[in-house]
Amino acid sequence: MTESLSIAFLLFPNVTQLDLTGPAQVLSRLGNARLDLVWKTLDPVPTDAGFSILPTATFADVPRADILCVPGGFGTNGVIADDEAIAWVQTVGAEATWVTSVCTGSLILGAAGLLEGYRAGCHWAQREMLPLFGAIPVDARTVVDRNRVTGGGVTAGIDFALTLAAMIRGEAHAKAVQLSLEYDPAPPFDSGSPEKADADILAAVKRRTAQLMPTRDDDLRVLAKRRGYPRETYE
């Protein structure tokens, strides 16, 4: 019989919904698995796409899980500043079989003390911030280091989830999920990474991000110090 699994996704205000819903769609097909979207209350949680998602459970309802997955988004710094949210990530991550993230969710894992000495992925725009928390940044769609599995930015969450599905249920199962989702990407443009994008496009994206969140990195450095980082051994 297939081993039962509990999967907990952190849901938080201003999450990038595809960071969450992409891998959630894949992992929901692991078979014999319960998947929860977890936040402080069961009230609708606004995403950065302009619509809200309903949590299925609260922190108190989910004290442990086999798989912890933390998405990213514009609300990442808000989570890192939130003692209750970080405490839940620490508690669940300490006992989870798999500790995972997508996009800037790895910064949340780092702030919770779960990535020290681990290789990790992140969205390209903030990958260089991972060493603040003792993590080793890697430029890859999916990074596997022991039981830490982290994805790059946004759409990499689907790749990450298929990789994790193969590790848990086997490659044949993961391939079947991929086929059922018709995940056969053929984007109309070859502009999906800083290395491939035209210089003017890259500059425009950086300008837009800076306008939306002008103090994001500086705020993150302040929050890292509040969480006790960088540790002496990583300075």
- Axis crossing angle, helix 171-180 with helix 156-169, rounded to the nearest 10: 140
Residues forming a β-bridge with 52: 46
**E-strand stretches of 26-110:** 33-39, 45-46, 52-53, 57-58, 67-70, 98-101
Residue 176, token pair as written in the block: 């079947």
Q: Where are the beta strands (DSSP E) in 73-183?
A: 98-101, 119-120, 136-137, 142-145, 148-151
What letter would DSSP give residue 2? Answer: P
Catalytic pick among 10, 20, 80, 103:
103
CB 72 within 8 A of CB 11: no
What residue type is assigned to position 230 of the chain? P
103 is catalytic: yes
Please state at what angle helix 17-27 crosses helix 156-169, rounded to 10 degrees: 30
The number of CA neighbours under 13 Å toward the Cβ of 167 is 19
Rounded Cα distance between 106 and 233, Å, is 20
108 φ, ψ to 5°?
A: -65, -45
User: CA 65 to CA 166: how far, in whole Å?
Assistant: 19
Residues assigned a catalytic role: 103
